[in-house]
């Protein structure tokens, strides 16, 4: 049986039962000593910058960090799940659309209302919080910084396509320490803390194909802006990807795409016009599940989830065609 055929989510044990979520203290070390962090989660590679999962001896040095990370994860999960019913009621209903950059960049009243509700819920649970959201921008000051995308995949949401999610990540002193991506339609929750990654309450492992010719790729490249910027070169790159991979799909939503890689439901995802709120939670979940998330392009030294491009793969997948395309796009 090929690795792709044998992909699965491990269900060998349950995740720990967390303490109560009421007003979480943020007095948590992220392992910084003498000006450097022992749990830094990004490393330079030959092709982009990758999240690195903290090694077991590093995590073991900071038990308080694991406890706080789990609490942040659970606070985010409670906040995200609370939006299930209002978002389900809005989904596939008539709604008025607004636009940001152009007619392809949609926003709805539900994006804005959901972000306000998430900010309120997280502030109540973790008072020492600041926020960076897709709709509200930077809000407040606090030791814990939350990256929020209230509806990642708004175009799908507005069109009635069931591939969108709520995405929340917690950052402490420059490191992502917890992430949640919630699919309200399927009612499934991808999450991660410093101890691991989970699909609902089951441990999550990213396993799948090891070569491009047996792998499934999710990517939104090229979109209309890519065609305007790169013309025929964009179509040639797309053709190379179609030829290299067993299957190529374009469902939208970077966070959902990356989490499908974390679950081993697809083998690789890539995008080249993302923001921190799109990918910070999902990239952390993938890494904690044993997969690989690489940030591409952007400013030298920028955090991996602040880079405009990404390649996300199951553990062990070699993707030379995609790497070459990604390097050409982000050079």
Question: Model confidence over 171-199: pLDDT tens digits?
Answer: 999 999 999 999 999 999 999 999 999 99
What is the average pLDDT across 266-272? 97
Q: Please provide the CATH number assigned to the domain covering 212-330.
A: 3.40.190.80
Q: What is the C-alpha separation between 144 and 217, in angstroms, rounded? A: 34
CA terminus-to-terminus distance, the chain: 38
Instruction: Look at residue 65 in the predicted model and tell me its pLDDT.
Output: 87
CB 198 within 8 A of CB 229: no
Residue numbering of the annotated binding site: 134, 149, 151-152, 278
Structure tokens at 73: 């994860």
Sheet holding 49-51, edge to edge: 42-44, 49-51, 292-296, 309-313, 268-271, 216-219, 247-249
Decide: pTM greater than 0.85.
no
Average pLDDT taken over every residue of the chain: 85
Instruction: Look at residue 57 in the predicted model and tell me its pLDDT.
Output: 41
Structure tokens at 164: 């969108």
Helix (H) or strand (E) holding 237: helix 232-244
pLDDT at 32 over 90: no
Q: What are the structural domain ranges in the chain?
A: 49-203, 212-330
Instruction: Look at residue 51 in the predicted model and tell me its pLDDT.
Output: 66
Residue numbering of the annotated binding site for Mg(2+): 134, 149, 151-152, 278
Question: Model confidence over 2-22: pLDDT tens digits?
Answer: 444 444 443 333 333 333 444
With a CB cutoff of 8 Å and minimum separation 6, the contacts of 80 are: 118, 166, 168, 180, 182, 189
With a CB cutoff of 8 Å and minimum separation 6, the contacts of 231 are: none
Please, what is the angle between helix 254-263 and helix 276-288, to 10°? Answer: 0
Task: Report how far apart, in Å, the C-alpha atoms of 295 and of each of 12, 160, 207, 323, 330 are.
Answer: 31, 30, 20, 12, 10
Of 207, 199, 261, the closest CA to residue 6 belongs to 207
With a CB cutoff of 8 Å and minimum separation 6, the contacts of 229 are: none
What is the average pLDDT across 218-238? 95
DSSP letters along 190-222, please? Answer: EEEETTEEEETTEE------SBGGG-EEEE--S
Long-range contact pairs involving 161-164 (C-beta distance under 8 Å, separation at least 24): 161/251, 161/252, 162/91, 162/186, 163/251, 163/252, 163/253, 163/256, 164/252, 164/253, 164/256
pLDDT at 102 over 80: no
CATH architecture of 49-203: 2-Layer Sandwich (3.30)
Q: Which residues pair with 271 in a beta bridge?
A: 310
Q: Is the dihedral of CA 81, 83, 89, 93 positive or negative?
A: negative
Of the two residues 42 and 102, the one the predictor is more confident about is 102
Look-up: residue for tokens 């929020």? Answer: 148
């Amino acid at each position: 049986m090929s690795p792709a055929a044998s992909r699965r989510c491990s269900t060998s044990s349950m995740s720990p039962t967390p303490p109560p979520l009421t007003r979480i203290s943020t007095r948590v070390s992220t392992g910084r000593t003498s000006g450097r962090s022992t749990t830094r989660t990004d490393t330079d590679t030959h092709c982009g910058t990758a999240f690195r999962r903290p090694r077991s001896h590093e995590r073991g040095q900071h038990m308080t960090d694991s406890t706080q990370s789990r609490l942040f994860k659970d606070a985010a999960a409670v906040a995200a799940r609370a939006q299930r019913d209002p978002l389900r009621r809005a989904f596939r209903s008539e709604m008025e659309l607004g636009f940001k950059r152009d007619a392809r960049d949609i926003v709805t009243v539900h994006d804005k209302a959901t972000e306000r509700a998430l900010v309120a819920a997280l502030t109540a649970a973790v008072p020492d919080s600041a926020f960076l959201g897709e709709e509200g921008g930077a809000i407040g000051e606090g030791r814990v910084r939350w990256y929020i995308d209230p509806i990642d995949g708004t175009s799908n949401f507005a069109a009635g396509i069931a591939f969108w999610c709520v995405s929340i990540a917690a950052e402490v002193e420059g490191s992502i320490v917890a992430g949640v991506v919630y699919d309200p339609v399927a009612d499934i929750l991808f999450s991660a803390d410093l101890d691991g990654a989970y699909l609902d309450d089951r441990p999550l492992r990213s396993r799948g194909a090891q070569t491009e010719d047996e792998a499934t790729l999710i990517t939104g490249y090229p979109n209309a802006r890519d065609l305007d910027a790169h013309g025929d070169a964009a179509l040639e790159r797309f053709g190379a990807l179609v030829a290299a991979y067993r299957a190529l799909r374009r469902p939208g939503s970077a966070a959902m795409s990356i989490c499908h890689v974390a679950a081993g439901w697809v083998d690789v995802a890539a995008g080249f016009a993302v923001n921190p709120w799109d990918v910070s939670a999902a990239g952390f979940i993938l890494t904690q599940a044993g997969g690989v998330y690489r940030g591409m392009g952007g400013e030298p030294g920028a955090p991996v989830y602040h880079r405009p491009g990404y390649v996300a793969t199951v553990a062990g997948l070699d993707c030379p065609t995609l790497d070459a395309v990604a390097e050409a796009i982000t050079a």
